[in-house]
Amino acid sequence: MSGFQIGKDILSYVAVGDSFTEGLDDPYPDSADFPSGRYRGWADRFAEHLARHVGELRYANLAVRGKLLRQILTEQLPRAVELSPDLVTLCAGGNDILRPGSDPDALADAFESGVRRLRDTGADVVVFTGFDTGFQPVMKHLRGKVATYNMHLRAIADRHGCAVVDLWSMKIFQDRRAWSADRLHLSAEGHRRLALRVCEVLGVPAEGDWDEPWPQLPPSPWRQARQEDLRWAREHLVPWIGRRLTGRSSGDGLAPKRPHLEPLVRR
């Protein structure tokens, strides 16, 4: 990235994407400042780190859970371009990859069109590869498709001068404590660590080590592990499949949590 720098009097940052960037499952505590049901996530956490090193950080988060790549490009990208920020984080395509018949080559072509539009505004752009799904039995079969998409994303980043946050190489995400109960979204600790990794990629000082080893846990008994798998399938997998079959999305009717560039209060 050529132009991004901290220490400015005013810096603007826009986050674009789906549930990953909206912040599921990292809820803010109930309070007057953070209404129940609003998620924090790595993007908010990264913005908090960034705000400590600029005179004023103006931050918008346009991400909405469940959105496909084409929806992000048509619903969020025009708004991001209109805001003309200094920095944009873009993660999109994960929900498409989960769907049978999706083509990572075609997805990459569409993704590049979005990157090009953002870079034409003069914004620095950060892109994210997909996670390595090899450790998740239910999604292990998607590993080749994710890897193909990742190679495209890296090439796109090279062509357009974007920074890359390589989620595939982050082995800490192969621990179940990095994930929430639905096994699709990061836990609060997963989001915290990812925010630190984004800081590292962009050269933003932050306390903490995203790659700190997880404390040792005793192995779960076989019966307990199978019971947890059954509970997960009943409470999370079956509803997810139901939404896919009926064409519904978890984000239907939802608006972005931070649609405007607004000053972020330092904490």
Task: Provide the 3-class DSSP secondary structure of residue 124.
Answer: strand
Please report, for the chain, the start and end positions of each structural domain, with discontinuous segments joined by +.
Answer: 10-216+256-263
Tell me the C-alpha distance between 68 and 129, whole Å: 16
pLDDT at 8: 78
Distance CA 9, CA 116 (A): 27
Q: What CATH number should be reported for the domain whose range is 10-216+256-263?
A: 3.40.50.1110
pTM value surpassing 0.75: yes
* Residue 15 phi, psi (nearest 5): -105, 135
114/26 Cα distance (integer angstroms): 27
Cα–Cα dist 244/11, whole Å: 39
What confidence score (pLDDT) does residue 5 get?
A: 76
Structure tokens at 228: 């947890």
Residue 162 CA to its chain's centroid (Å): 16
* Separation of alpha carbons 212 and 177, rounded Å: 13
What is the reported pLDDT for 31? 58
Q: What is the pLDDT of residue 56?
A: 95
The residue among 156, 31, 163 whose CA lies nearest residue 93 is 156
Q: Collect the ranges in the chain with pLDDT lower than 70.
A: 1-3, 31-37, 220-252, 266-267
Helices assigned H by DSSP within the chain:
19-22, 41-51, 69-71, 77-83, 94-97, 104-120, 143-160, 188-202, 222-232, 238-246
Q: Report whether 202 contacts 163 (CB < 8 A).
A: yes
Nearest to 201 by CA among 248, 147, 164: 164
**Integer CA distances (angstroms), 19 to 64, 94, 257, in order:** 6, 10, 11
Whole-number Å distance between alpha carbons of 111 and 90: 9
Return d(Cα 232, Cα 257) in angstroms, integer.
28
